[in-house]
Structure 1
Amino acid sequence: MPDDSVPYGPPPGSVILITGVMAAGKSTVAEALAARLPRAAHVRGDAFRRMIVSGRAEPLPGDASPEAAAQLRLRHRIAARVAEEYAAAGFTAVVQDIVLGDDLAYWTGLVRDRPLHVVVLAPGPGAVAAREAGRAKTGYGAWTVAAMDSALREGTPRLGLWLDTSARTPEETVDAVLARLPESRIRR
């Protein structure tokens, strides 16, 4: 149900990218944010990765194979195109995916004709490890929390709004995103 007390809402047809490391709360926050907006769609980038039934190549820490890198870029292109389609239909497209390092600048370049917001959820490594331990699915295999946190903090350009969500509930995080949404706007 949309919240009429939202201090700022994105213009119709906007795209909001919610990114961060695994277990940062991207899925929960993106879904809750979309639910608070008057007309929104939640685009889950990982769904496009899972659509590859055979031949999937996963990025590995420090050395993604050319095939893994190509598949990651494919996933990002598909998510951005789907977001643009929802935005063209008047929805706010809330995209959630892991977009770190140089991929963040690449991803933002894919959305050309829409108001674009970037929100980076950046809880501390201790909070991420605790969240990962407490959830049914596991995201960290070849990656460690420290390696992914380093990729976020040391290799990702400072675009949009970065939030340390270590001590925030998902609802508090959505409140912060909405209150500070103008800071997240990187285009138009």
Structure 2
Amino acid sequence: MSRPPADTDDGGVPPVWLVTGIPGAGKSTVARALAETAPRGVHIEGDQLQRLIVSGDVPPSPEHDEEAERQIELNVRHQCLLAASFRQAGFEVVVDYVVTSMARLDLYRALLPAVPLRLVVLAPGSAVALRRDVARGKQVLGDWLHLEEEMREELEGAGLWLDNRALSVDETVTRILGRAREATLEEYLL
């Protein structure tokens, strides 16, 4: 699937997309497919950046471990550094990461201050996400089921919320592109 160049801001520089959802929602798959539709697209996968830490890695934990939180913030900072660099070079950037709070979303806003940010929350529901999680052999969602409710409480009303439970990846991307304006966070709408 390809498409014409994205609508842009300030002299033809494209926005940054942030695709989020609970584990098993389809973030990485959809984000990569969305980036592939752009004439010049980049997919920044937050989980891959976490894997760059080869010694001393403290993965996210439901208990909000202080070191894990510090590494999450470091990860987000690096996502934004990469996004800004690729964007300045004329690439459309799609970042995927679990973002469950307004504070975390505000960190992206602060680190990409003049960048139109488009938020897409994939919301297939926990039952579908659990099935996908098991099918891909990861089985990590069990510890993170509370994130679905946390995301709704914190982020509902921000960006584009898309129920992708019955949609193929291509159908999901088509809907996202067709509703790009809804995904654009309010402060960036012209």
Is the shorter-chain TM-score for this pair beyond 0.5, marking a shared fold?
yes
* Conservation of the 8 A alpha-carbon contact between 1:9 and 1:181: no
Give the C-alpha shift of residue 154 in structure 1: 2.3
The TM-score normalised by the length of structure 1 is 0.89
1:34-183 mapped onto 2 (5 Å cutoff): 34-61=35-62, 63-101=63-101, 102-140=103-141, 143-145=143-145, 147-156=146-155, 158-183=157-182
Instruction: Give, in angstroms, the shift of residue 16 of structure 1.
Output: 0.6
Kept in 2: contact 1:24–1:122 (CA 8 A): yes
Q: Distance in 2 between matches of 1:157 and 1:111?
A: 21
SS at structure 1 position matched to 2:121? strand
Question: Which SS does the other structure have where 1:17 is aligned?
Answer: strand
- The number of aligned residues is 182
Shift of 1:74: 0.4
CA distance in 2, matches of 1:65, 1:84: 29
Distance 1:129 1:136 in 2: 11
Alignment partners' CA distance in 1, 2:57 and 2:137: 23
Match of 2:7 in 1: 10
Q: Deviations over 1:125-172 (max 9, x none)?
A: 11111111211333336x143x12122222335321111111111111
Could you tell me the percent identity over the aligned residues? 37
Q: Is the 8 A contact 1:104 1:157 kept in 2?
A: no
Cα distance in 2 between the residues matched to 1:66 and 1:184:
31
Conserved? CA contact 2:6–2:14, under 8 Å? no
CA contact (8 A) 1:99 1:107 kept: no
Q: Read off the aligned partner of 2:58 and give its amino acid letter.
A: A
Q: Distance in 1 between matches of 2:158 and 2:110?
A: 12
Instruction: Give 2:7's aligned amino acid.
Output: P
Letter in 2 for 1:181: A
Tell me how far apart the structure 1 counterparts of residues 156 and 78 of structure 2 sit (CA, whole Å).
22
| Cα distance in 2 for residues equivalent to 1:144 and 1:26 | 15
Task: Specify every segment of 5 or more residues in structure 2 that has no aligned partner in the other structure, as ranges.
Answer: none
Amino acid at match of 2:55: S
- Measured after TM superposition, the shift of residue 114 of structure 1 is 1.8
Q: Is the 8 A contact 1:10 1:181 kept in 2?
A: no
Alpha-carbon distance between aligned partners in 2 of 1:160 and 1:75, rounded to the nearest angstrom: 22
RMSD: 1.8
Q: Are the aligned partners of 2:130 and 2:141 in contact in 1 as well (CA < 8 Å)?
A: no
Query: What secondary structure sits across from 2:94 in the alignment?
Result: strand
Cα shift at 1:2: 2.4
Q: Gaps spanning 5+ residues in structure 1: where?
A: none
TM-score (norm: length of structure 2)? 0.88
